[in-house]
Amino acid sequence: MAESDQAKWVEALRGAGLRLTRQRLAMVECFADDVSHPTAQALHARLCARFPGISVATVYNTLSALTAIGACRKLELGGASRFDPNVTPHDHAVCDDCGRVRDVQRARRAAATVPGFEVHRVERVFRGLCAQCARAARV
């Protein structure tokens, strides 16, 4: 899974006419199989371990390139933007307490329509407490 995802990304980059720089390859390695929905800053911090000196601008630049070609999604959930390498249709659960974001499989359902609006995407966010924080809150 991990390898194929990374290969898919390399293909996507090449297919979009984007250069396979060492920084981008490092990002693919660090991010392609990430399920933590990191912020750009968090990803940059993590990358610095693997690629000392990589610039924040490069991280932002590559993330928006990946988003533009549909290889990842940008999530706006409040605070800093988060990025999700999983582009299959799914929803998100955000813990009010610890802030962690979890993927939630989307139930099969007829495509939503809104009168007078051309719907391209539907995003759904569940807010509340993750199991761990809910348990802690009951103590």
Partner DNA sequence: TTTGCTGCAAACGCTTTGCACATTC
Partner DNA sequence: GAATGTGCAAAGCGTTTGCAGCAAA
Residues that bind DNA (CB under 7 A): 14, 18-24, 39-41, 51, 53-58, 60-62, 64-65, 79-81
Nearer to DNA, 68 or 119 (CB): 68
Q: Helix or strand or coil: residue 75?
A: strand
60: part of which helix (H) or strand (E)?
helix 56-68
Q: Helix or strand or coil: residue 104?
A: strand
Q: Does 96 bind a second copy (CB under 8 A)?
A: yes
Can you give the C-alpha Rg of the chain in angstroms? 17
Q: Does 11 bind a second copy (CB under 8 A)?
A: no
Task: Give, in order, the Cα–Cα distances in Å from 81 to each of 7, 11, 78.
Answer: 25, 25, 7
Q: Does 122 bind a second copy (CB under 8 A)?
A: yes
The residue from 19, 22, 108, 121 that contacts a second copy (CB under 8 A) is 121
Q: Cα 42–50–18 angle (5° rounding)?
A: 80
19 binds, among a second copy, DNA, none (CB under 5 to 8 A by kind): DNA
Nearest to 125 by CA among 72, 70, 76: 76
CB atoms under 10 Å from CB of 48, counted, come to 14
Q: Does 68 bind a second copy (CB under 8 A)?
A: no
116 binds, among a second copy, DNA, none (CB under 5 to 8 A by kind): a second copy
Nearer to a second copy, 46 or 74 (CB): 74
Residues contributing to the site for a second copy (CB under 8 A): 74, 76-79, 81, 93, 95-96, 102, 104, 112, 114, 116-131, 134
